Amino acid sequence: MRPPLPPFTHETAIEKVRLAEDGWNSQNPEKVSLAYTEDSAWRNRDLFITGRAEIVRFLTGKWQSEQEYRLIKELFAFSGNRIAVRYAYEFHDANGQWHRAYGNENWEFDSEGLMQKRYASINDLKISEAERLFHWPQGRRPDDHPGLSDLGL
């Protein structure tokens, strides 16, 4: 089981979103993959990913190329076993060019609280280092760090 479990309340949906953010900010592909069903189906931009092994491969490559990755997720809507989030993350590539990615995800969970479907739409924007907004040390975003709405994103 992976609490909180559906059906979600406003409070448990917010908790689920923060747990997902924390997991992704850990940049530990194996740990992150455990939040998904064995046969979880993803659409991530133009990629279609199925199952934990593919999730691990995808995330390993992602975090090798997206350096100094920092992510903020925010609840957008929820109903029953579904949650919609919006998010932004910052990273730089191997050439030192900073980017901010903006995205929306639709999640569907099984009764055990594992994500069985994830649909992500993402847009990238090149930014200068001076335009960065996410400055906490690598890992979990501090509780007192502003969220997306607070940052005007």
pLDDT digits (tens, 9 = 90+) for 84-116: 999 999 999 999 999 999 999 999 999 999 999
- Tokens found for residue 38: 């064995």
pLDDT digits (tens, 9 = 90+) for 23-62: 999 999 999 999 999 999 999 999 999 999 999 999 999 9
CA distance 151 to 137: 18
Range of the domain at 24: 10-131
Helical segments of the chain, H only: 10-26, 29-33, 52-65
- Tokens found for residue 13: 């949906």
What is the number of domains present in the chain?
Answer: 1
Residue 141 lies in a domain: no
- Can you give the CATH number for the domain in which 77 is found? 3.10.450.50
Q: Give the pTM.
A: 0.97
